[in-house]
Amino acid sequence: MFAVHLMAFYFTKLKEDQIKKVDRFLYHMRLSDETLLDIMARFQAEMQKGLGKDTNPTASVKMLPTFVRAIPDGSENGEFLSLDLGGSKFRVLKVQVSEEGKRNVQMESQFYPTPNEIIRGNGTELFEYVADCLADFMKTKELMQKKLPLGLTFSFPCKQTKLEEGILLSWTKKFKARGVQGTDVVSSLTNAMKRHQDLDVDILALVNDTVGTMMTCAYDDPYCEVGVIIGTGTNACYMEDMSNIDLVEGDEGRMCVNTEWGAFGDDGALEDIRTEFDRELDLGSLNPGKQLYKEGLANTREILTDLGLEPSDADCIAVQHVCTIVSFRSANLCAAALAAILTRLRENKKLVRLRTTVGVDGTLYKIHPQYPKRLHKVVRKLVPNCDVRFLLSESGSTKGAAMVTAVASRLQAQRKQIDKVLALFRLTQEQLVGIRNKMRVEFEYGLKKDTHPLATVKMLPTYVCGMPDGTEKGKFLALDLGGTNFRVLLVKIRSGRRSVRMYNKIFAIPLEIMQGTGEELFDHIVQCIADFLDYMGLKGAQLPLGFTFSFPCRQASIDKGTLIEWTKGFKATDCEGEDVVDMLREAIKRRNEFDLDIVAVVNDTVGTMMTCGYEDSNCEVGLIAGTGSNMCYMEEMRNIELVEGDEGKMCINTEWGGFGDNGCLDDIHTQYDKEVDEGSLNPGKQRYEKMTSGMYLGEIVRQILIDLTKQGLLFRGQISERLRTRGIFETKFLSQIESDRLALLQVRRILQQLGLDSTCEDSIVVKEVCGAVSRRAAQLYGAGLAAIVEKRREDQGLEHMRITVGVDGTLYKLHPHFSRILRETVKELAPQCDVMFMLSEDGSGKGAALITAVAKRLQQAQREH
């Protein structure tokens, strides 16, 4: 017993001495806490460098975007193939991911050797070998007849611009196959698989093993946002904020970044802690200068003996301690880099304390008896403000790769279905030319006496025959009804210097008035006039009035207008078929407080044309892209068969909103347009308007979002009550959502207001849907406008024509892209016309006053004759 104690003491003494000797010898390998904190700070700086667009090229830690934007959310399901290449073992797997909330994954796998002549041979042979193993696996598992998506775990630094692509930057570990660096390994494998006729596999995702590991662990622990491999090689990935990843477009949400921390120090950043042994080892490695990194005395003796050595006890103790110091330093270094990542996560989230999970895999971590404990301990020491759970990945990174593939295939399937819907709104050049020509035919129909009654584009004479000539002067009242706002205006026109001063007041038209009785509507209008005259101290003033009434009216003269039918949100009873000037006069009489000389009733397109024509005599077209949609233009009297006379011109209010009511647009009329029409106040009417104007675009988008949500493609299939509400998705939302300046986060805020809990992907799709709907509207407007300017050019027998279009309306004014797409479409469809667009700053009220002034002047002239 004494001998045992003596032996134990001697041994302990020997051990202590040996350990001290080794410690002194390997003193440089012991890293103090200060040094580790310093290395942590250096790594943080390297991460920043790698994430920066300008600094990335010279960064040693490449911070590679992986295009994995989300961790599993439990909706993943399906059958997938998975390849795991790059670790110590090469595996082929079939992964079955099931749904219905039951988060279980079944995997069948087969290991295949990675002979040196393959992994250090020629690249083509390497991928052919991998394809052969895959084919062999599928034969064995009788999967050959199945078309299965595949996730490729490829554990080497790859530059990715999308999930299903990866340019190999450099081989690491034992691999050194020729002709692969700088090429896309996904297409190399795809080509190699082509050799197997009956192999029908789609590589949907390439992931690094750290990413696969993070996803595998995140499937069980949603806190997992870091993946670490400490095996043959070492590396880590984590979920970074998109706003910090300069190399990828977009600032919203997060993306997994593969740090490739193995290269940390390649730029000399770790020179001060590298030892001669590290340099020695590096020189002997397959990639010198790149990527700068084991139990039990009995084991030690056995291993040393296997190495042909005859170790003494002292040797074994020394070797064991060397191993301890080397693995200790490895754990310390990994801990320092990991602590840097955890600190970044905490700072990104602006948290004082971070709770997170790190998914880990790799044989060194798994089988080294003390490694995990040391790593955890040092990490917790370096980042005391992080509650870190380490989760060992039981099933390797391939389960995670299958998750990524499952998400990719779900997104791909979704993408296909969403593209199918968006394609319905994509108009080809040929279709646009067709629409321009159809509109042109409808114009002719409307102008001709015989065909006018059937025409859907009414081409209504307005009795506005001349543009103001600058001699107009006086004070005029103007009413502007039919757009977003009802305005009462006082317009002072001074002749000669073409100066117009305007005072106006905006009044609301409540829905119950819009859709009440005609009498109530006109009484309300007269009430507003009274308030305005009061406000302006004009009570009792007998002023000529111009009435902008933005609805289809058949006119027999400038001051007569019979409402053909209501459009937009109006549906007041006892008005259609009535003369709206008479109805206004009766309402004024009913009030019996003041009298007005209603001189003209004009359409807002005409008022807009006149307002702009006052500044630019080339302006002979008026366009409204607002709540409603319409266009007017100056037509040759000889072409207007409904009005006597062939001299001069008259403005025609086309009321093109009705274009397509005869079915000529059915080929582009979608189910969503149908639903909007059926839910409108005037089903079957105003088809063109319902595909183009502000009153309806939001509704079309809402119908599409409901349909996509029903298909489970959006908002996890959850339709909110608010989204079911007609008119809730206002067109102004389109303008906001499509604004380039608006971050996706703000899109999500808008969706939140609609009770929709959306993901990044959801908001991207919503933005696309808004874009598709507004683009079609702008193109349809462009086709209609091209038809009229082409008609005017041909009517005047001009090879080339310059013309100005006066335009107004909130859609044209506020939508970020509408006006540009409209202009581009007109340019393409009417190349011989040089069309200037002039925005009406003052609205059509000014135009109405000018028309009133012209009418008064003409009346005056007639009286004097």
Residues that bind ligand BGC (CB under 6 A): 482-483, 550-552, 567-568, 603-605, 624, 626-628, 630, 655, 657, 689
Residue 82 as a binder of ligand 0WK (CB under 6 A): the answer is no
- Residue 549: phi and psi, rounded to 5, are -120, 105
Which of the listed partners (ligand 0WK, ligand BGC, none) does 232 bind, with a CB threshold of 5 to 8 Å by partner kind?
ligand 0WK
Interatomic CA distance for residues 138 and 837, integer angstroms: 64
Nearest to 431, CA basis, from 685, 666, 699: 666
Is 272 a catalytic site residue?
A: no
Q: Is 477 helix (H, G, I), strand (E, B) or coil?
A: strand
Whose CB is nearest to ligand 0WK? 231
Whose CB is nearest to ligand BGC? 628
| Cβ neighbours for 33, distance < 8 A, ≥ 6 positions apart | 381, 382
Q: How far is the CB of 656 from ligand BGC (least distance, A)?
A: 9
| Inter-residue contact 468 to 610 (CB < 8 Å) | yes
In this structure, what DSSP letter does residue 276 have? Answer: H
Q: How far is the CB of 293 from ligand 0WK (least distance, A)?
A: 12
Q: How far is the CB of 825 from ligand BGC (least distance, A)?
A: 19
Which of the listed partners (ligand BGC, ligand 0WK, none) does 613 bind, with a CB threshold of 5 to 8 Å by partner kind?
none
Which of the listed partners (ligand 0WK, ligand BGC, none) does 86 bind, with a CB threshold of 5 to 8 Å by partner kind?
ligand 0WK
Q: How far is the CB of 688 from ligand BGC (least distance, A)?
A: 10
Distances (CA, A) of 770 to 30, 386, 738: 60, 42, 7
How deeply is 682 buried, as exposed, middle or buried, from its count of CB atoms within 10 A (0-12, 13-18, 19+)?
middle
Distances (CA, A) of 298 to 202, 225, 365, 732: 50, 40, 21, 77
> Of residues 184, 604, 677, 808, which has the active-site annotation?
604
Q: How far is the CB of 32 from ligand 0WK (least distance, A)?
A: 29
> Of residues 330, 550, 693, 840, which has the active-site annotation?
550
Q: Using the rule CB under 6 A, which residue among 164, 622, 843, 852 binds ligand 0WK? A: 843
Q: Using the rule CB under 6 A, which residue among 50, 157, 468, 483 binds ligand 0WK? A: 483
Interatomic CA distance for residues 300 and 308, integer angstroms: 12
Q: How far is the CB of 511 from ligand BGC (least distance, A)?
A: 17
**How many of the chain's residues bind ligand 0WK (CB under 6 A)?**
37
Is 550 a catalytic site residue?
A: yes
Interatomic CA distance for residues 5 and 7, integer angstroms: 5
Q: Which is nearer to ligand BGC, 164 or 677 (CB)?
A: 677
Is 187 a catalytic site residue?
A: no
Q: Which helix (H) or strand (E) holds 761?
A: helix 760-795
Residue 851 as a binder of ligand 0WK (CB under 6 A): the answer is no
Q: How far is the CB of 619 from ligand BGC (least distance, A)?
A: 17
> Of residues 91, 487, 585, 702, which has the active-site annotation?
487
Task: Read off the tokens for 843.
Answer: 């609205």
- Side-chain-side CA neighbours of 12 within 13 Å: the count stands at 5
Which of the listed partners (ligand 0WK, ligand BGC, none) does 605 bind, with a CB threshold of 5 to 8 Å by partner kind?
ligand BGC
Q: Which helix (H) or strand (E) holds 548?
A: strand 544-549
| Inter-residue contact 518 to 575 (CB < 8 Å) | yes
| Inter-residue contact 229 to 155 (CB < 8 Å) | yes
Residue 229 as a binder of ligand 0WK (CB under 6 A): the answer is yes
Q: Is 84 helix (H, G, I), strand (E, B) or coil?
A: strand
Q: Is 37 helix (H, G, I), strand (E, B) or coil?
A: helix
Q: Which is nearer to ligand 0WK, 362 or 446 (CB)?
A: 362
Residue 232 as a binder of ligand 0WK (CB under 6 A): the answer is yes
| Cβ neighbours for 12, distance < 8 A, ≥ 6 positions apart | none
Residue 243 as a binder of ligand 0WK (CB under 6 A): the answer is no
Q: Which is nearer to ligand 0WK, 416 or 501 (CB)?
A: 501
Q: Which helix (H) or strand (E) holds 154?
A: strand 148-154
Footprint of ligand 0WK (CB under 6 A): 84, 86-89, 153, 155, 209, 212, 229, 231-232, 361-363, 396-398, 480, 482-484, 548, 550, 604, 607, 624, 626-628, 694, 808-810, 843-845
Residues acting as catalytic residues: 487, 550, 604
